[in-house]
Structure 1
Amino acid sequence: MNGSHDGSGTNEERPRARGHRPAHGEPLLDRAFRVLTCFGPETPVLSLTALAARADLPKATTLRIARRLVEHGALERADSGHYTIGLRLLEIATVAPRGHGLRAIALPYLQDLCHATRQHVQLVVREGLEGVLVERLSARDAQRVMYRVGGRLPLHATAPGLVLLAFAPTQVQEDFLAADHPPDEDDLMGTADALRSRLAAIRRDRFAVFSRPQWDVSMTGVSAPILDRRPATIAAISVITPTERSQPAAHIPAVVAVARAITRAMGTESVGDAPAD
Structure 2
Amino acid sequence: MANSPFGETVTERIVRVLETFDTDRTFQTAAEIGRRARLPSTTAHRMVADLVECGLLERDEDQRVRLGIRLWELALRGSRALRLRQAALPFMEHVQARIREHTQLAVLEDDETLFLERLSHPRAGANITRIAGRLPLHASSSGLVLLAYGPEELRERLLAGPLEAVSAETVTDPAQLRRVLAGIRRDGVVVAPGSVEAVSTGIAVPIREQHGRVIAALSVVLPRTAPTRPAIEELRAAAAGITDAFGAEGP
1:263 partner letter: T
Of the candidates 39, 63, 79, which is equivalent to residue 61 of structure 2?
79
Q: Does 1:262 align with 2:242?
A: yes
Structure ID, larger Rg: 1
* Alignment partners' CA distance in 2, 1:200 and 1:175: 16
State the superposition RMSD in angstroms: 2.3
Of the candidates 160, 175, 195, which is equivalent to residue 193 of structure 1?
175
* Alignment partners' CA distance in 2, 1:114 and 1:201: 26
Q: Deviations over 1:99-145 (max 9, x none)?
A: 21110111000001000100100000001311100000011211131
Whether the aligned pair in 2 keeps the contact of 1:95 and 1:101 (CA below 8 Å) is no
Q: Does 1:234 align with 2:232?
A: no
Listed as ranges, the matches of 1:57-68 within 5 Å are 57-68=39-50
Q: Deviations over 1:200-254 (max 9, x none)?
A: 1111111111112656x5111111111135533110000111112x212331111
Larger RCO: 1 or 2 (CA < 8 Å, sep 6+):
2
Q: Is there any run of 5+ residues in structure 2 with no aligned partner, and where?
A: none
* Alignment partners' CA distance in 2, 1:183 and 1:6: 41
* Alignment partners' CA distance in 2, 1:211 and 1:102: 27
Give the TM-score of the pair, scaled to structure 2.
0.90
Q: Is there any run of 5+ residues in structure 1 with no aligned partner, and where?
A: 8-21, 269-277
- In structure 2, relative to structure 1, the CA distance for the partners of 1:113 and 1:40 (3 Å cut) is same
* Alignment partners' CA distance in 2, 1:195 and 1:111: 31
- In structure 2, relative to structure 1, the CA distance for the partners of 1:265 and 1:143 (3 Å cut) is same
| Equivalent in the alignment of 1:44 | 26
Alignment: residue pair count: 248
Q: Does 1:116 align with 2:116?
A: no
Q: Does 1:203 align with 2:198?
A: no
Q: Does 1:92 align with 2:74?
A: yes
Runs of 4+ in structure 1 off by over 4 angstroms are 183-187
1:55 CA drift (Å): 1.3
2:246 partner letter: M
